[in-house]
Structure 1
């Protein structure tokens, strides 16, 4: 165990790392640029002899340390991080620690979109197969917290963001999956190449007897087996594959090795949209590779109704459907949501600026959206793109209540009011969940 630990960032993962190390024979310094934390909790923890809190500031990089544990929300490109690395001090994250200090078999799931839906569905399937299964990671439950109380046979179904994967060293899932790759987080990663490099770290430590699940329909994920150690298994909703999980005659089929097996009919999936068919195919692929019986897979997929904040029907009022898709934090995710709509849409969009290009997003709006309501940092940027492409009927608002009120006035019988922001939430909200709950509260109070 290291003697001097620095923890940077006091979100869920930061407190989890602190809880783990506070009972170890180590010295801990905690840094966070914010100061608005539960004072009673901080005072109580500060009374511990081995913890020093430094709120309202980041480290300088000159502090004495054997390990620096970074929150995934903090860039590794900051000067103090570079200084620690130049001094040969290990800089890592909570996901790496969960693998290093915990037990269990990790199943890692990443991608630009669909991670939470797929991870939740995989978790449901695995729990039906083996009750000692935990769903952790970017989905909101720190992996370290569960890994250290798991045994060797526990499955840890782990949603992984590019931010979390940036800081791994030895983390090694027995099955990994990349669902798709589209432009996102360029304010952090700067280029698509760097973003992809972070995502591809999910399989860098896997061996030849382990599996990597990839989306064959995403050309960026047609990787060469000769350059990758784990066995690649593709899934596809468009192509019949020689080996993999695919759709044939409106049925999901698994063809692994010399065995071809029917899993279920596509019509039995409750989730809306072709993107959710891809999420189901990914989940089925992971479950098949884990050796789970097809009857369990079929039953759990048929029972799955999705996750909160992802194409979630909040209410039907005056024959207008109000749908919460706050989880759509990038343009591609909102494009997929619009593709799933089969009625005229009043769309609420906008949020934190991640330097995304909204051209394709507006292209997808043109045939579907009868009125566009914009809020947040990006409202002017999106409006400019929309006007340049001839999309009129735009209203800019200051908050969610105003957005829902405008949508209520614009919506006619048979329309859909859709919150699908195409942007992150952090300009106005703590999280996309907070944003989605605000939308739901506004809708339910109509």
Structure 2
């Protein structure tokens, strides 16, 4: 179904929230006969918007009678396909899209798309920042921007839309075809929605199923599952790796894309091994857009990342400070610790959940001092002692940050990467990270 054919077509929008409301706006403008259904109770604001649009609405359940005469369903990504309404729609052959597909058909702009289990938001944001230095108008869409269909209506032919895509969104595409796409990594997630890892992986792999030989697919050479899934792609497949030879790689501390040296790793504002992988992927994605090397280098030296995800706060008293408050488990903290070669003063700890901390040992190569914080602070100090690393135990964030400056020297890294949830002292990891930043600013003065 082409967008030009939407006039007078009967379309069911399933779910409200941002994507559902944006899809409804667009469909009404396109002349479709729209019904909006939500199994719950939408917000007052959404109800008022739908009343203004004069569409039929049914809330509180998903009656099968809704399918009568329906030619297309545009659903909220989070609504599972297992509900009876969607199972009946599938049986009847009714197309089911997410608003990403609607957006793709609404514009002549080019799409750069990023998916993966981890790193999507940072990579997408970095790609957007890099492409902004080029000649084309660039838009940010999806989970970290505005709804895709809303952005698509603003974009013109020749523009570029950069979008982060979840497995939920990708299950609802049909013709969507990015010119450049990345599949960063794959680890078990959302199994309550997908049922098993194979189904989850299949949904992620849809990002490249419509790509042609002219497209560029960027994949993680160190992820066996991603490599296997992408073997049959028609697109040009380019690999990245911080551990082995690949198209995008690190040689003697230098980032190399193809045959082009870009920047020494130690000049990146972004920290953490996972963020180095995100940088390699982003640089490969944007290579065809001919961004000037001086602009690329400037972005890489100043882009601090996404808030609370190994976010570069700045240099204070000669120490580079990073906020990785979102690291609430071992895996995230291992990735952060492994990305630095300078001495690290590591602030860690939080809610006690009884987690085994021993897997963190191998990532502590460059840690010079551990500052244990909160309920698990003492356990992290004991981990440090086992590794013959100095340790300090604190309770309050201000105390921990003061200790970090006291035991560190110019040239060191001060890293908050708790490997623990925040709920012993904070409502959210964001609140913890913001408290860390304030404490650093109080202790360290103005950032360099």
Shorter-normalised TM range: 0.7 to 0.9
User: Secondary structure in 2 aligned to 1:22?
Assistant: helix
User: How far does the alpha carbon of each residue in 1:357-413 deviate from its partner, in whole angstroms, 9 at most, with x for none?
Assistant: x76x76227968765758xxxxxxxx9xxx9xx989xxxxxxxxxxx9766677771
Q: Determine the C-alpha separation between the residues in 2 that align with 1:32 and 1:423.
A: 33
Closer/same/farther in 2, CA of residues 420 and 164 from structure 1, 3 Å limit? farther
User: Secondary structure in 2 aligned to 1:88?
Assistant: coil
| Aligned equivalent of 2:359 | 363
Establish whether residue 49 from structure 1 lines up as the match of residue 54 from structure 2.
yes
| Aligned equivalent of 1:15 | 21
| Aligned equivalent of 1:398 | none
| Aligned equivalent of 1:126 | 131
Closer/same/farther in 2, CA of residues 131 and 96 from structure 1, 3 Å limit? same
Closer/same/farther in 2, CA of residues 349 and 34 from structure 1, 3 Å limit? farther
Q: Determine the C-alpha separation between the residues in 2 that align with 1:106 and 1:253.
A: 25
Deviation at 1:338, TM superposition (A): 4.8
User: Secondary structure in 1 aligned to 2:65?
Assistant: coil
Ranges in structure 2 where 5+ consecutive residues have no aligned partner: 1-5, 385-393, 406-413, 443-448
Establish whether residue 291 from structure 1 lines up as the match of residue 285 from structure 2.
no
User: How far does the alpha carbon of each residue in 1:202-252 deviate from its partner, in whole angstroms, 9 at most, with x for none?
Assistant: 0000011211101112222224876221111111212233xx121112212
Q: For the pair shown, which has the larger CA radius of gyration, 1 or 2?
A: 2
Q: Could you tell me which of 237, 247, 250 is aligned with 2:250?
A: 247
User: How far does the alpha carbon of each residue in 1:142-172 deviate from its partner, in whole angstroms, 9 at most, with x for none?
Assistant: 1111112211211111111111111111111
Closer/same/farther in 2, CA of residues 92 and 248 from structure 1, 3 Å limit? same
| Aligned equivalent of 2:262 | 263
Q: Could you tell me which of 228, 233, 237 is aligned with 2:238?
A: 233
CA contact (8 A) 1:214 1:232 kept: yes
Deviation at 1:267, TM superposition (A): 2.0
Closer/same/farther in 2, CA of residues 195 and 338 from structure 1, 3 Å limit? farther
Q: Determine the C-alpha separation between the residues in 1 that align with 2:305 and 2:399.
A: 29
| Aligned equivalent of 1:413 | 403
CA contact (8 A) 2:397 2:436 kept: no
| Aligned equivalent of 2:408 | none
Per mean C-alpha deviation after superposition, the further-off stretch among 326-335 and 106-115 is: 326-335
CA contact (8 A) 2:16 2:42 kept: no
Establish whether residue 172 from structure 1 lines up as the match of residue 151 from structure 2.
no
CA contact (8 A) 1:322 1:443 kept: no
What value does the CA root-mean-square deviation take over the aligned residues? 3.9
Closer/same/farther in 2, CA of residues 442 and 239 from structure 1, 3 Å limit? closer
Q: Could you tell me which of 69, 73, 78 is aligned with 2:83?
A: 78
Closer/same/farther in 2, CA of residues 332 and 68 from structure 1, 3 Å limit? farther
| Aligned equivalent of 1:63 | 66
Q: Determine the C-alpha separation between the residues in 1 that align with 2:25 and 2:101.
A: 16
Establish whether residue 30 from structure 1 lines up as the match of residue 36 from structure 2.
yes
CA contact (8 A) 1:350 1:421 kept: no
| Aligned equivalent of 1:139 | 144
The number of aligned residues is 403
User: Secondary structure in 2 aligned to 1:227?
Assistant: coil
User: Secondary structure in 1 aligned to 2:169?
Assistant: helix
Deviation at 1:321, TM superposition (A): 10
Deviation at 1:438, TM superposition (A): 6.9
User: Secondary structure in 2 aligned to 1:343?
Assistant: strand
- TM-score norm. by structure 2 comes to 0.77
Deviation at 1:115, TM superposition (A): 1.0
Per mean C-alpha deviation after superposition, the further-off stretch among 20-29 and 301-310 is: 20-29
Q: Determine the C-alpha separation between the residues in 1 that align with 2:173 and 2:297.
A: 34
Deviation at 1:40, TM superposition (A): 5.1
CA contact (8 A) 1:126 1:287 kept: yes
Closer/same/farther in 2, CA of residues 365 and 68 from structure 1, 3 Å limit? farther
